[in-house]
Amino acid sequence: MNPADILRLGGIGLRTRPLRVVLSALGIAIGIAAMVAVVGISASSRAEVDRRLAALGTNLLTAGPGKSFFGDASHLPEEAEAMVARIGPVTAVSAVGRVPTAHVYRSDRIPAAESGGIAVLAARTTLPGTVGATVHAGTWLAAPTYPTVVLGSRAAGILGLTDGLGLNVWLGGHWFTVVGILDPVPLAPELDSAALIGWPVAADVLGFDGYPTTIYSRSRDDAVPDVAAVLAATANPAAPNEVQVSRPSDALAAKEATDTAYTGLLLGLGAVALLVGGVGVANTMVISVLERRPEIGLRRALGATRAHVRLQFLAESLLLAALGGLSGVLLGALVTATYAAWRDWPAVLPAWSLAGGLGATLVIGAIAGLYPAMRAARMSPTAALNTAA
C-alpha cells in the first residue's frame, strides 16, 4: 500500500464516526490553542515593551537623594543639575524639587488633611523634553515665574479637573491657574501624581529651598553605563554614597521578565491540556479497534498484512491529532490577534510556536495510536470474523 492509500483508509475510518472524532479532536485543539495563544500573547507583550522602549529611549538616568551614613535623609546640592550637565556624553538635563510644605486642593474649603496624596513639585522648563512627557491638554509652564500649574494625569483625575484648563486650584495657600494636563509618563510615573509649578515661583511664593529631589539626564546610548558610573559622584561630590542612581527603563524591562516567568507556567498548563487531549485520542482509537474487529478480520482474510492494519489505524490516529492540532493553531492565532488588537499591541506569533504546535500534535497522535494499532494488527482473522458472527 502506498501512503496515499493509507491516508485514504484512515480518512474513511474517521468519517464513519464524525461526532466522536470532533469531540476527540477538540481535546487536542484546546491544548494546542492554549499553548499557541500563551506564546503569541507573550511575544506580543514583549514586542510592545520593546516598541515602547524604542520610542521612549533607554538612555534616561535619574539621580536622587538617599540616606546619610547615619540613616538621616540627605539632599542634593543646589548646583547638582549644572554639574551633571557638564558630563561629556550627557545631552539633556532637567530636575524637579519637592515642596514638602505645599499641598494642592480643588478649593480653599477642603480640609487640610485631605490632600489626596498629590505632591507639589518645582519643575524646570526643560522637563518634558528630557523625560519624554507630552501635554494632553493646554501647555507646559510657559511662564514659570507666574502662579500657574500643570497637573499630572492622575493628579488631574483626583482633583476632578481632567478638563479643567483655566480653572484655579488652592496650592500652598495661594491660587494657581491650571494651564496644562500631562499624559501618563511611563519613564517618570512619579509625575503622574504631581502638581508641577515653575522653579522661580516655587522659591518666591512657597519658600522652596532650591534643592532638587530628582535629576533626569539623557546621554548617548553607547555611554549610558559610563554616565551611570559617575553620576552619583558628579551630582554630590562630597557624599556620592548618599545619591541613588536608577535607570527608569529597567522597570519596563523587568515587566518583560515577569511576563516570561508567567509564560512558562501557562505553557505547563497548556501541556497538561494537550496530554488530556492525547488520552482522549487514545481512548477513541482503542474503542474504534474493538468496534471494528469484523472489518479487521475481513481485511486480513482478503490478504491485508499485519503491517497494513497497523499503518491504517496509526494513520487514523495521526489524522485525528492533526485535525485537532490544525484547529488549535488557528484558534490560538485568532485569540492572539484579538487580544493584541484589544490591547493595541503589535500581533506577534512566532513561527516556531505554529510548527511546534503541529509537531506536538503529531507526536501525541503517534503515541496515542501506537497501542491501538498494534492491538488491531495482532488480531487473527478467524477470531475477528467470529466476533461478527
Higher-confidence position of 313 and 127:
127
**pLDDT tens-digit readout, 304-337:** 677 777 777 777 778 888 888 888 889 989 988 9
List all residues 6 or more positions away from 220 whose beta carbon is below 8 Å from its beta carbon. Answer: 59, 89, 91
**pLDDT tens-digit readout, 350-361:** 888 888 888 888
Q: Using pLDDT thresholds of 50, 70 and 90, give the confidence band for residue 257.
A: low
Average pLDDT over residues 187-210: 93
**pLDDT tens-digit readout, 132-145:** 999 999 999 988 88
Q: pLDDT value at position 114?
A: 78
Helix/strand/coil percentages in the chain, nearest 5: 60, 15, 25
Q: pLDDT value at position 389?
A: 47
Rounded Cα distance, 138 and 128, in Å: 14
- What pTM value is reported for the model? 0.64
Count the Cβ atoms, other than its own, within 10 Å of residue 170: 16
Report whether pLDDT(70) > 60.
no
Rounded Cα distance, 321 and 366, in Å: 8
**pLDDT tens-digit readout, 271-292:** 776 677 677 777 766 776 666 6
